[in-house]
Amino acid sequence: MIMLTSTKIGTMFYYIANTFIDGAHRIASSLPKKLLYLFLALLAPTFQLLSVSKPLLFSLLPYFVFIDIALALMMVFLFSDWKRISILYNFSTINFYNSAGACPWLVCRSSAGGVITYTFQCKGMPLAYWHEHQEDLEAAFDCHILSINYADGSDNLFELKFVPAKGALPTNVPAPNFSLEDFVIKLGISFAGEYCINFNRLVHMLITGATGGGKTILVRWIIYQLVNKFSIVYLIDLKGFVDYQDLREDCRCLDTNEKILAALKSVVENIAHRMELCIQAGVSNIADYNKLPGVEQESPIFVIIDEANCLLDPTGKGKAGKDFIQEVIEYLLTITRLGRAAHVHLICVCQRSDVGSIPGALKANMEIRITSHCADKESSITILGNGDAANLPKIPGRFLSSDGTEFQAYKFSCPPGENS
């Protein structure tokens, strides 16, 4: 039960007054609403004139005038957006006020692709205050907040984007700002809220999906987050990086056999070097090593292979080609076995139908497996170890993880805040 303090009572009157103003504005700006309001407002006087005798009418006229005016004023509220009053209640439950005791006023709201946008106006409430209370806001509104930013360049207007905590997953979720936590990568929205991967605990990842399933957009979003967390990203793409042109400068791009072998050899040698640093410093992993005073920081390393089947499938290859593949596989197996403590990670991406081209020993070392809809249970079992992906909706960007989480991947085409 909410205790009504003087501040909350003042805020309630503030919201009621603004709700009345909103209703009056809606009536004034629409001819049909004007006519409807006029009709409703005249009902009571008309009834009084027709049902009450003239002597009695004149004696009760002051009371009738008072009642008619009160009813006319109350009818204004019928035309206002009552959502604002429920929002007052939500803010009241978490004591979300500025120093003057006023809580944010809902200016407008919209919805697209399952994502709801509220724009609030409030003076004396910095953006940092909203971010500090994000978990409280999510609990009060029963939602998961995607982003909170200033609206229209004003420090008095705030744009809040969110998805409901209950109901169907949205189908078009714009990428939010990336997590400030080390090794935490945001993937999308699940029924439990935001779905993230912590590469400090789960080291290597396999992403599969049919063409048009949204895996390339997901990989681009992952790369964008990694490079903004100052990770070293080796990107292998034998298709010529057509899907990663705007990210090439941030990655070490490898598209020839010579470059690939040289880079993988360098990564494996780096693992050995990092393990030696840990041994000398008396720590168990490179994350703890980086916390030591005066040491040179060792950045996380990610090897990302797009269309891994093109790189690893020996079908139709001659001896030289098969020898190259075997050498690559040996390097990758070393990375998956020893990379955890050195914070060296492998992400393989491939078509769902081609996942069989990835060696079983390599696939077994990938703790995180993600796939879009599978045509049959057998394909799902091959990827996830169960048949659940066969029941996944055929929605672009909809994925199922090996931990059983269904999520809608964030839609990323350019840096958040610069969406075209």
pLDDT number for residue 417: 40
Q: What is the DSSP string of 13-40?
A: HHHHHHHHHHHHHHHHT-HHHHHHHHHH
pLDDT number for residue 11: 59
Q: Is 71 helix (H, G, I), strand (E, B) or coil?
A: helix
Tokens 């420090």, located at residue: 155
pLDDT number for residue 2: 41
> Smallest Cα–Cα separation from 305: which of 249, 233, 368?
233
How far is it, in rounded angstroms, from Cα 244 to Cα 331?
24
DSSP state of 171: S
pLDDT number for residue 212: 87
DSSP state of 242: T
> What share of the chain in percent tops pLDDT 70?
92
> Smallest Cα–Cα separation from 383: which of 405, 360, 406?
360
Residues written for the chain: 420
How far is it, in rounded angstroms, from Cα 282 to Cα 279?
5
Where in the chain are all domains bearing CATH 3.40.50.300? Answer: 184-409
What's the token pair of residue 297? Answer: 């920081």
Q: Which residues of 133-142 are buried (b: 16+ CB within 10 A; e: fewer)?
A: beeebbebbe
pLDDT number for residue 336: 95
385: phi > 0 → left, psi -120 to 50 → alpha, else beta; which?
left
Give the right CATH number for 184-409 from 1.10.3720.10, 3.30.499.10, 2.40.30.20, 3.40.50.300. 3.40.50.300
What's the token pair of residue 129? Answer: 């205050």
- The model's pLDDT over 347-384, given as tens digits with 9 standing for 90+, comes to 999 986 666 678 888 988 999 999 999 988 988 988 99
Amino acid at 212: G
Sign of CA dihedral 103, 104, 107, 112: negative
pLDDT number for residue 133: 92
Asked if 171 and 182 touch (Cβ cutoff 8 Å), the reply is no
Where in the chain are all domains bearing CATH 3.30.980? Answer: 83-164
What's the token pair of residue 18? Answer: 């603004």
Asked if 347 and 302 touch (Cβ cutoff 8 Å), the reply is yes
Q: Which residues contact 311 (CB under 8 A, 6 or more apart)?
A: 236, 238, 260, 305, 325, 328
Asked if 413 and 420 touch (Cβ cutoff 8 Å), the reply is yes
Is domain 83-164 given the CATH code 3.30.980 in the classification?
Answer: yes
Mean pLDDT by 10 residues, the chain (420 residues): 49 69 76 80 77 76 79 74 77 86 84 85 91 91 86 88 80 83 89 88 91 92 93 94 91 95 97 96 94 94 93 89 95 96 95 75 91 90 91 93 94 56
Tokens 């919209």, located at residue: 110
pLDDT number for residue 101: 79
Q: Is 241 helix (H, G, I), strand (E, B) or coil?
A: coil
Q: Is 54 helix (H, G, I), strand (E, B) or coil?
A: helix
417: phi > 0 → left, psi -120 to 50 → alpha, else beta; which?
left
pLDDT number for residue 284: 94
Q: Is 112 helix (H, G, I), strand (E, B) or coil?
A: strand
